[in-house]
Chain A
Amino acid sequence: LAKTTQPISMDSYEGQEVNITCSHNNIATNDYITWYQQFPSQGPRFIIQGYKTKVTNEVASLFIPADRKSSTLSLPRVSLSDTAVYYCLVGGALYNFNKFYFGSGTKLNVKP
């Protein structure tokens, strides 16, 4: 079972790029890396998912090195509304669905 490690909290200012790194040293060959965002009093929201190299969507980018033992979520030009908790999860192999376990997450605080 892949365990993830993230910084507990991060501070940033509006307009800056924020990079949140997650360590997952024992990721399995068929595991995907998925990131979620959670606002207070809401359920987590799927942000982005990847397997290797780089993935980009309208919200964020996900960078995964060749060894896949870590990943970095990149949020371009954050705003106050990006203040939330961000969770990194690994698992979910196709045809062999694994359960997901949420780590502590990273609380991002965006300041004006």
Chain B
Amino acid sequence: SAVISQKPSRDICQRGTSLTIQCQVDSQVTMMFWYRQQPGQSLTLIATANQGSEATYESGFVIDKFPISRPNLTFSTLTVSNMSPEDSSIYLCSVAQTSGRGEQYFGPGTRLTVT
């Protein structure tokens, strides 16, 4: 397993601003994922981030709104741009190895509130 940390753990932001969420892993991993989870709801995959290539976004999510960086095998960032109250949610990163069977390990999440 891997230990994943996220920063910040929570934030309150004003509409129209941007927030960058960091995801740090204690070991090198091939696959990193970003999810969004509304309170009481399931997780929705935003994008897959592989080192050395552009992130792959799911339907309904675009790079201009959620730019992602993956500079190395232990770190990734997700930016929520030009925020609106509808972006209020919990954002989670997870990691997996292509050499594994797909089991994912999740960070603790970032709780974002947009006012």
Binding site for B on A (CB under 8 A): 32, 34, 36, 41-46, 49, 51, 87, 91-95, 97-105
- What are 15 sample pairs from A and B whose C-beta atoms fall under 8 A apart? A32-B102, A34-B101, A42-B109, A43-B107, A44-B43, A44-B106, A46-B103, A91-B102, A92-B96, A92-B102, A92-B103, A97-B102, A99-B58, A102-B43, A102-B45
Determine the distance from Cα of A41 to Cα of B72 in the docked complex, in whole angstroms. 28
Contact indicator A41/B45 (Cβ below 8 Å): no
Q: Which residue of B lies closest to A93 (CB)?
A: B102
Q: Which residue of B lies closest to A50 (CB)?
A: B101
Determine the distance from Cα of A43 to Cα of B96 in the docked complex, in whole angstroms. 14
Binding site for A on B (CB under 8 A): 1, 4, 31, 33, 35, 42-45, 48, 58, 92, 94, 96, 98-109, 111
Highest count of chain B CB atoms <10 Å: which of A32, A91, A98, A102: A102
Using a Cβ cutoff of 8 Å, how many contacts connect chains A and B? Answer: 67
Contact indicator A94/B42 (Cβ below 8 Å): no
Chain A contacts for B94, CB-based, 8 A: 43-44
Determine the distance from Cα of A108 to Cα of B34 in the docked complex, in whole angstroms. 25
Determine the distance from Cα of A71 to Cα of B98 in the docked complex, in whole angstroms. 24
Chain A contacts for B92, CB-based, 8 A: 43-44
Q: Which residue of A lies closest to B9 (CB)?
A: A41
Determine the distance from Cα of A93 to Cα of B100 in the docked complex, in whole angstroms. 8
Contact indicator A103/B104 (Cβ below 8 Å): no
Q: Which residue of A lies closest to B10 (CB)?
A: A41
Contact indicator A43/B109 (Cβ below 8 Å): yes
Q: Smallest distance from the beta carbon of A73 to chain B beta carbons, Å?
A: 15
Chain A contacts for B109, CB-based, 8 A: 41-43
